[in-house]
Each structure stands twice: as structure tokens, then as C-alpha cells.
Amino acid sequence: MDAEESRSAIAYRQIAGYIDNVADGARLPPEADFAEMFGLSRASIREALARLRAEGIVRSRKGSGTFAMRSGAPEMVRLSAISSVRELAQWHEVRLALESEVAALAADRRTDEDLARLEAAQEALLASLLTGRGEREDVAFHAALAVCAHNPKLSDALGRLTSHIFSWGNLSAQRSVLTMAERRELIALEHGAIVAAVAARDGDRARAEMRRHLLAGRTRVLSDLQM
Amino acid sequence: MDAEESRSAIAYRQIAGYIDNVADGARLPPEADFAEMFGLSRASIREALARLRAEGIVRSRKGSGTFAMRSGAPEMVRLSAISSVRELAQWHEVRLALESEVAALAADRRTDEDLARLEAAQEALLASLLTGRGEREDVAFHAALAVCAHNPKLSDALGRLTSHIFSWGNLSAQRSVLTMAERRELIALEHGAIVAAVAARDGDRARAEMRRHLLAGRTRVLSDLQM
DNA sequence: ATCGGCAATGCTGTCTGACAGCATGAATTT
DNA sequence: AAATTCATGCTGTCAGACAGCATTGCCGAT
């Protein structure tokens, strides 16, 4: 089910959960206690705390202790590093939410020029899949769709999120269970359905097709990871 | 007066400087080499690397090495001050995307305790609407719903976004075209439909009801603004 | 009794040494 | 030449130890 989560990731999750049930500014248990609590070494605890420190969730003072900083109210949503399959799945759900809305808005608001650019992006993607993995062209397709939605905030957030998720996949082993031909056919089909819905200005259908596309992609990725 | 810089801070500065002079995606020297270079222990190097990992500047792969990720966007999106109705509408669309997905996931994944908390939040909201504007309770209701979705990334992003939007529009509720009684009735109706869908574990209906709720709210706010 | 200093204790920061397990490239075999 | 095995390098993790800062609480001086 869950591909082995690293020990420091376990520590991170546990400590984050601990902080959720604690007052703002409260002092956390010593690292040694956390280590004993979770059955991990102090090194793993420190690894997790280093991440929490970097995220502003926690603050450590030498000789004094580590303190929860829940009111660290950053004015932005941070894309913290993805360190487990679980986190990848969570970000993927955020992407699904944004991208399906983008598809619907794109169908409602697209101009004819928008549609032309979208179709061009789709053709470029299919062409590049004959020779390479077409990863960049896939991103370009989704970017072209985002433009159609005419909502800069939404497309900006989605763009950063997508590249964040892709950067994880870049460094992980790219061993797909699909052949290039199968992959190309699937993308042609799924993207094609989205383009058709956008062309028909059918927002609900565009949303549904995008959901199908992303959910299918998630299934493919997860089955790859379980090989 | 030099407040002694911690060793891990030195390591962080040095490694960050090293990364600046290196290509994107390049492989960094092994931790042991960094340690020898800077005259520090591997523990301090790892402490610095943990921070760089959390910031998305580097990524480590077990058995392979640590790699520079200069293009890693550290933040999802900056919630800059809303300075126009157009921007408000754009953020509202982002919220709509996230919140409707949250509603669907909440219906799929809620536990019985989640549901109890959600219903309690709804009752608290209705009670507070008898005396005040119930703004804080409204936020609490949506927060309770976000908990049901069991996706920290998604609920965190949504929470920040919602408070951002609310910080702008807190005056809109004051000069509303609706009487308090009308407002209460509408919220009872719309929230009640969402709660019912979550209780029935009907994700699609929860999504639809949330969309309706937010779209109705947008219409109300915009009509207020045009008064 | 109050206040100032002082020792004891607890905690984080850092160091050292070691080992497991994954990834990669080289050597070897077919 | 291709496939397989093997050797090596690197990160992740563990264990134990010590330095130095903060805080607590005791003790003595006034």
C-alpha cells in the first residue's frame, strides 16, 4: 500500500501530529523522549525537526528546548519537499482540485485564439511522444489550458504546483509499465476529450474529462511505484 | 559583537554558495567531502542539507547522491493584498476549486467523530447567528469540513486562502442586503445540504452543494458591492 | 526574610564511528 | 554484444559521547 516511508518522514508526521494537539508556543518534549516514543533514533528526530524548523513550524533554542510556533502565519502556501508517496498523493489531490476547475473555466471563457493554441500544444505533445517522453510538452499543454481559464491567480498556483509534483517524478526512477505507444494513445484519447469539451464550451464535461485524465494518471504512477 | 554563527549555519551558507556556482540538477559532492572541505562534521552538513531539502533547493536520493534543484519553486503562491474586485473574484475561484474538492473528499473519508464535530460546528454557527454575525463560526465550520478530508496539504492551503479572502471582505457582511434572519435561513439550508451529503458519504453531492453554496455567496457579495 | 550568586540539571548542538541498503557503473559470463 | 553479477560509493540511520547554554533551585549573605 504505502511504499516504505522513510523514518525521518515518520518522525515528521508524528511530531506534526503532536504539535496539532498543543498550545501555541508550548515546549515540546526533548528529542530523546521523542526518539523513545516513536522507537527511532535521535538522528531521525533531528532530521524531522530540521524540516519543521525550516518550515517555521518549530523553533529550537540551544540549552532550552524546542517550541511550537503555530502562529508563524506565513502569507503564502509553501510547497514543502515531497518525502513520501503519501505526500505526493496529497499534493496530487490539490492539483486535481485546481486543474479540474481550470478545465471548466477554460471551456467557459476560451477565445478562439486560446483554442487554437491549445490544439497546437496538443499536436506538439503527440509529435514529441513519437521520439521522447514529451514531458515538457505535457506541461505546456496544461499551461495552455490554464491560459484559457483567464484567471492568473489560479493558473499561477497550478503551474507552480504542477512543476513541483513533476520535479519529484523527474528524480525518481522513470520506469513505466506502459510502452511509449500505449502512453501516446492514452494521452491522445484523454487530452483529446478535454480539448473537445473546451471547443464545445462545455464546462462540466471539461471538468469531468480532466478528472478522469488525472485520476488515470495517478493510478498509472502509483502502479509504477509499486513495481 | 559577532554572535557566534552555528556550525550548521556555516555549512548552510557554504553549501548554498556552492550551489550558486553550479548547473541546475547537478550532483553535489558527497556529505563526507563537504565535511572535510569546511572542517565540520557530517552531522552539521546533514543539518544544513536538511534545511536545503525542506526549502526545495536540493533533493537527496538514497544511494545516489544529493542534487541541486535551482528551479525548485519554494512557494506555491503569494497571497498578496487584494486590491480590486477582479482579484477578489479570482481568489474566490481558487477557493471554489479547493473547497468543493474538500467537500467531496470529506464525504468519502469522514469518520463518525469527524461528522459529529462538523454537526457541532454547524449548530454553533446557527446559534451565533441569533446574536452576532457568526463569522468566526463560519470559518470554524469550513475548517471542520477540511479536517474531514484528511489531506493536510489541501486543508492548509484552503485555510490560508480563506482567511486571506475573509480579511478583505469582512465589511461586506455588514452592509448586506439580507436581514440577519434571511442570512441565517440561507446558511442553515446550504450548510445543511452539505452536512447531509457528507453524512451520506455522497462525494459528488457534497461537491455540488458546496459549489452552490459558494456561488450563491459570491453572488450575494457582488450584489452588495454594487449597491 | 529577601536577594544575589552559585551549583546542579536538562537540553540542544556537535562530533565520532559504524552499518544497512539502494544505485550506479564495471567486470564477467554467455 | 547483451545480459548478469559484482564491487563500490553514497545517503539514511543508529549508538554513544561531550560541550555549552538555560533554567531551576539551593544556599549564604545582608
The model's pLDDT over B174-196, given as tens digits with 9 standing for 90+, comes to 455 667 777 788 888 999 999 99
The band of B24, judged by pLDDT with boundaries at 50, 70 and 90, is confident
Q: pLDDT of A199-227, one tens digit each? A: 999 999 999 999 999 998 887 766 655 44
Give kind and range of the element (H or E) at residue A77. Answer: strand A76-78
More confident site: B7 or B3: B7
The number of residues in chain A equals: 227
Task: For residue B67, report the phi and psi dihedrals to the nearest 5 degrees.
Answer: -125, 145
Q: Which residue is it, cell 468543493?
A: B100
Which CA-bearing residue is nearest the C1' of D12? B62
Alpha carbons B225 and A28: distance in angstroms, whole number = 47
Q: pLDDT of B57-115, one tens digit each? A: 899 999 999 999 876 656 777 776 666 778 888 989 999 999 999 999 999 999 999 99
**Chain B, window 152-191: residues with a beta carbon less than 8 angstroms from a chain A beta carbon:** 152-154, 156-157, 160-161, 164
Least confident stretch, A90-94, A170-174, B178-182, B207-211:
A170-174
Mean pLDDT of chain A: 86
A36 lies within 8 A of chain B by CB: no
SS (H, E, C) chain B: CCCCCCHHHHHHHHHHHHHHCCCCCCECCCHHHHHHHHCCCHHHHHHHHHHHHHCCCEEEECCCEEEECCCCCCEEEECCCCCCHHHHHHHHHHHHHHHHHHHHHHHHHCCHHHHHHHHHHHHHHHHHCCCCCCHHHHHHHHHHHHHHCCCHHHHHHHHHHHHHHHHHHCCCCCCCCCCHHHHHHHHHHHHHHHHHHHHCCCHHHHHHHHHHHHHHHHHHHHHHHCC
| pLDDT at position A172 | 42
Supply the DSSP symbol for A120.
H
Alpha carbons A162 and A144: distance in angstroms, whole number = 13
Q: Which residue is it, cell 491567480?
A: A153
A43: Cβ under 7 Å from strand D? yes
Q: pLDDT of B118-141, one tens digit each? A: 999 999 998 988 887 777 888 899
Q: Grid coordinates in use for B49? A: 542539507
> Measured in angstroms, what separates residue B222's CA from nucleotide C1's C1'?
70
More confident site: B204 or A225: B204
In this complex, the nucleotide whose C1' atom is nearest to the CA atom of residue A5 is: D12
Residue of A nearest to B53 (CA): A81
Ranked by mean pLDDT, the top range of A95-99, B6-10, B59-63 is: A95-99
| pLDDT at position A227 | 40
B47 lies within 8 A of chain A by CB: yes
At A131 the three-state DSSP class reads coil
**Chain B, window 95-124: residues with a beta carbon less than 8 angstroms from a chain A beta carbon:** 96-98, 100-102, 105
- The beta-carbon neighbor of B73 closest among A54, A153, A160 is A160
At A113 the three-state DSSP class reads helix
Residue of A nearest to B72 (CA): A164
**Is pLDDT of A190 > 80?**
yes
- The beta-carbon neighbor of B47 closest among A50, A97, A160 is A50
- The beta-carbon neighbor of A153 closest among B55, B91, B160 is B91
- The beta-carbon neighbor of A101 closest among B56, B96, B157 is B96
> Which residues are CB-contacts of A104 (< 8 A; sequence separation ≥ 6)?
A203, A204, A206, A207
Alpha carbons B151 and B99: distance in angstroms, whole number = 12
**Is pLDDT of B220 > 80?**
no
The band of B170, judged by pLDDT with boundaries at 50, 70 and 90, is very low
Chain A: closest CA distance from residue B156 (Å): 8
* Average pLDDT of span A110-134: 89
The band of B222, judged by pLDDT with boundaries at 50, 70 and 90, is low
DSSP H helix total and E strand total for chain A: 9, 3
A223 lies within 8 A of chain B by CB: no
**Is pLDDT of A164 > 60?**
yes
Interface mutation vs chain A, best among B8, B88, B94, most A CBs within 10 Å: B94
Using an 8 Å Cβ cutoff, are A207 and A101 in contact? yes
Residue of A nearest to B152 (CA): A90
Q: Grid coordinates in use for B12? A: 548552510
| pLDDT at position B227 | 43
Least confident stretch, A45-59, A76-90, B206-220:
A76-90
Closest to B74 in 3D by CA, of A172, A4, A54, A25 = A54
**Is pLDDT of B167 > 80?**
no
At A60 the three-state DSSP class reads strand
Question: Which chain A residues have a beta carbon less than 8 Å from that of B160?
Answer: 75-77
| pLDDT at position B3 | 56
At A66 the three-state DSSP class reads strand
Question: Which chain A residues have a beta carbon less than 8 Å from that of B47?
Answer: 46, 50
Supply the DSSP symbol for A172.
S
| pLDDT at position B81 | 64
More confident site: A174 or B70: B70
* Average pLDDT of span A68-79: 69
> Which residues are CB-contacts of B1 (< 8 A; sequence separation ≥ 6)?
none
* Average pLDDT of span B198-219: 94
| pLDDT at position B76 | 74
Q: Grid coordinates in use for B114? A: 469527524
The band of A83, judged by pLDDT with boundaries at 50, 70 and 90, is confident
Strand B75-78 vs strand B65-68: parallel, antiparallel, or unpaired? unpaired
> Which residues are CB-contacts of B90 (< 8 A; sequence separation ≥ 6)?
A151, A152, A153, A154
